[in-house]
Amino acid sequence: MAWKGVERGGDGQPVWSGASAVAGATAELQGGVQAEHAQAQARQAGEVILDLQHISLSFGGVKALTDISFDVREHEIRAIIGPNGAGKSSMLNVINGVYHPQQGRIVFRGEERRKMHPTDAARQGIARTFQNIALFKGMTVLDNIMTGRNTRFRSGLLANALWWGPARNEEMRHRQKVEEVIDFLEIQAIRKTPVGRLPYGLQKRVELARALAAEPSMLLLDEPMAGMNVEEKQDMCRFILDVNHQFGTTIVLIEHDMGVVMDISDRVVVLDYGKKIGDGTPEAVKANPDVIRAYLGAGH
Ligand SMILES: Nc1ncnc2c1ncn2[C@@H]1O[C@H](COP(=O)(O)OP(=O)(O)OP(=O)(O)O)[C@@H](O)[C@H]1O
Ligand SMILES: [Mg+2]
């Protein structure tokens, strides 16, 4: 698969930021949003909230991740990049408690995690979107987003069934929160539409809405812009930055469009064949010879 946003310049070196269709298409993303983002980050220098130490994960004979260590700071946008099969989605699945690494430690908000389940991750404020959209296609946008509130339901089954007393108040609170998310992501017009009828780009936005409905403090996004056209990508970039700025949500982002990654992330970790080959600011990663080699292929 070709790397979007990375081309070889006249001097044989890769050209990154600005080569992306998204970044190149809007002066706003290149200038305004970037500057605004830098400002927001200066205000919100965060502590390490997730520390992954020497993580190794294999499936039978396949080593998906080998001895990977990196951390995530509160309020930052942390990108994970790397070629197909590098182990990016596996890493998100480890953070989310879907996969349990054979080796390594995971410390989240000061506590070491042992055999955590995805529902525990949700309860701890971690929400995610998937590489392949995971929504109920026959259900409306509104109902899909409502499922994002599941981990927050408190009233018992009986009270909910009778829609009685506290359950009723709770339902109202959930509905209100969902409406806020719908307004925030500007999807009022499609709130009653079955998800399966929506174009792909909008389905991705609905999936983000479902994740946001859980009011996460950490959001894991697995290729939120894959398969989108330029305009849809611009919108998605804008929403990701808005979520980060307005709610202070920490974001771990897997994305193949390098222009986007270089523009909106604070730090980038680079995986290749299940190993970490780079980690740092976009500038540092761009200059890393191992990363350049992985991107442009051997011989460059
Ligand atoms: N559940 C699984 N069972 C067996 N092998 C798996 C499983 N999940 C991932 N793998 C393998 O682990 C390796 C890393 O896969 P992963 O999906 O994490 O890569 P990725 O970087 O997300 O790739 P892509 O860019 O294509 O999404 C691959 O070799 C993949 O085949
Ligand atoms: Mg993947």
The pLDDT tens digits of the residues spanning 147-199 come to 998 766 555 555 566 665 666 777 888 899 999 999 999 999 999 999 999 99
Ligand nearest to the CA of 83: 1
How many A from CA of 194 to the centre of ligand 1? 30
Q: Per-residue pLDDT averaged across 221-240, rounded?
A: 93
Collapsing DSSP states into helix, strand and coil, what is residue 130?
A: coil
How many A from CA of 83 to the centre of ligand 2? 9
How many A from CA of 16 to the centre of ligand 1? 25
CB 80 within 8 A of CB 254: yes
Q: Per-residue pLDDT averaged across 57-74, rounded?
A: 96
pLDDT at 11: 60
Among the residue ranges 96-105, 147-156, 271-280, the one predicted with the least confidence is 147-156
Distances (CA, A) of 279 to 25, 40, 190, 232, 275: 28, 22, 40, 28, 11
pLDDT at 54: 98
Q: Which residues pair with 72 in a beta bridge?
A: 50
Collapsing DSSP states into helix, strand and coil, what is residue 271?
A: strand
| Mean pLDDT score across all residues of the chain | 84
Structure tokens at 293: 């080699």
Instruction: Dump the DSSP string for 38-81.
Output: HHHHHHT---EEEEEEEEEEEETTEEEEEEEEEEEETT-EEEEE
Ligand nearest to the CA of 222: 2
Question: What number of other Cβ atoms are within 10 A of residue 147's Cβ?
Answer: 15
Please state, for a pLDDT cut of 90, what percent of the chain lies above it. 63
Compute the distance between CA of residue 298 and CA of residue 300 in angstroms, rounded to an integer: 6
Q: Per-residue pLDDT averaged across 70-96, rounded?
A: 96
Question: What number of other Cβ atoms are within 10 A of residue 11's Cβ?
Answer: 6
Q: Greater confidence, 123 or 37? A: 123
Among the residue ranges 27-31, 148-152, 265-269, the one predicted with the least confidence is 27-31
Nearest ligand 1 atom to the CA of 256 is 25
Residues contacting ligand 1 via CB (< 6 Å): 59, 62, 64, 82, 84-90, 131
pLDDT at 30: 46
Compute the distance between CA of residue 261 and CA of residue 125 in angstroms, rounded to an integer: 24
pLDDT at 2: 43
Q: What residue's CA is closest to ligand 1, atom 7?
A: 59
State the amino acid at position 230 in one-letter form.
Answer: V
Residue 284: in which H helix or E strand, if any?
helix 282-287
pLDDT at 163: 60
Q: Which residues pair with 50 in a beta bridge?
A: 72, 108
pLDDT at 43: 44
Q: What residue's CA is closest to ligand 1, atom 26?
A: 84
Q: Say yes or no to pLDDT of 208 above 60.
A: yes
